[in-house]
């Protein structure tokens, strides 16, 4: 194998800047995992991740915590370009032990950020009718989970309807999600991440954008 000083120095630099993971590995990992399960079983509810965790930029704390709780050496992950840097790769490889893949269709998990305008839900692993659990879970980092466009969710885990407010989703997300929902039991699940909060959107949920009412002219 040919020795590359540049590659070696870059790897050493990334390791020196590596941020720590959980303060209490077992407790923190279990706490976050339970919060993620609750987010998906009660779609649209904001779940706060009550852990102290540093995240490598541009990952936010909730995104990093979800990665640490869900990913391990038996899973694969794909990073969108805007989140793909040496610090993030080193962090995930070291703390999760997982391989990062170039083809999103082969990943168990995908981590996305500002590239949502080109979001192609059907480009990720869809599972099969026999093995729907082989589909991907998308961790989507958004600007805000308390302010922004209002969406209404319906489906399992929701009594009647539930409103959520998300800033940063593309205008055609609802149409893309309708196609994903229609593919059930296949299709992807989504966990939105922002700050220390997560919101789950499983493939079983329907979503509709709420049109704001215009004030009458006086």
The one-digit pLDDT tens for each residue of the chain (218 residues) are 443 445 444 444 555 578 888 989 999 999 999 999 999 999 999 999 999 999 999 999 999 999 999 999 999 999 999 999 999 999 999 999 999 999 999 999 999 998 888 899 999 999 999 999 999 999 999 999 999 999 999 999 999 999 999 998 999 999 999 999 999 999 999 999 999 999 999 999 999 999 865 545 55
Question: Are residues 80 and 110 in contact, defined by beta-carbon separation less than 8 angstroms?
Answer: yes
How does DSSP classify residue 43? T
Strand partners of residue 150: 165
Check: CB of residue 52 under 8 Å from CB of residue 64: no
State the virtual CA torsion across 142, 145, 150, 152 in degrees, nearest 10.
100
Map residue 47 onto helix, strand or coil.
strand
Superfamily assignment of 23-203 in CATH?
Bacterial phosphonate metabolism protein PhnH (3.40.50.11310)
**CA dist., res. 68 & res. 28, Å (int):** 10
In a 10 Å sphere around its CB, with 0-12 CB exposed, 13-18 middle and 19+ buried, how is residue 133 labelled? exposed
**R_g of the chain, CA atoms, integer Å:** 18
Strand partners, 72: none
pTM: 0.89
- Structural contact between residues 167 and 142, judged by C-beta atoms closer than 8 angstroms: yes
Distance between alpha carbon 1 and the CA centroid of its chain, in Å?
A: 37
């Amino acid at each position: 194998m040919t020795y590359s000083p540049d590659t070696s120095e870059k790897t050493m630099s990334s390791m020196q800047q590596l941020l720590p993971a959980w303060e209490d590995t077992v407790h923190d990992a279990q706490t976050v995992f339970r919060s993620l399960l609750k987010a998906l079983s009660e779609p649209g509810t904001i779940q706060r991740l009550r852990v102290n965790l540093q995240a490598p930029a541009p990952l936010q704390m909730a995104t990093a915590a979800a990665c640490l709780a869900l990913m391990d050496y038996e899973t694969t992950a794909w990073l969108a370009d805007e989140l793909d840097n040496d610090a993030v790769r080193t962090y995930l490889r070291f703390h999760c032990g997982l391989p990062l893949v170039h083809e999103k269709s082969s990943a168990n998990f995908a981590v996305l950020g500002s590239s949502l305008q080109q979001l192609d839900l059907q480009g990720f692993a869809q599972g099969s009718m026999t093995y729907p659990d082989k589909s991907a879970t998308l961790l989507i980092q958004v600007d805000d989970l308390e302010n922004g466009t209002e969406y209404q969710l319906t489906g399992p885990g929701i009594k009647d309807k539930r409103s959520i407010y998300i800033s940063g989703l593309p205008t055609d997300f609802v149409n893309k999600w309708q196609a994903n929902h229609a593919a059930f039991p296949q299709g992807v699940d989504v966990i939105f991440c922002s700050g220390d909060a997560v919101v789950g959107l499983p493939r079983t949920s329907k979503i509709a954008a709420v049109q704001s009412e215009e004030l009458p002219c006086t």
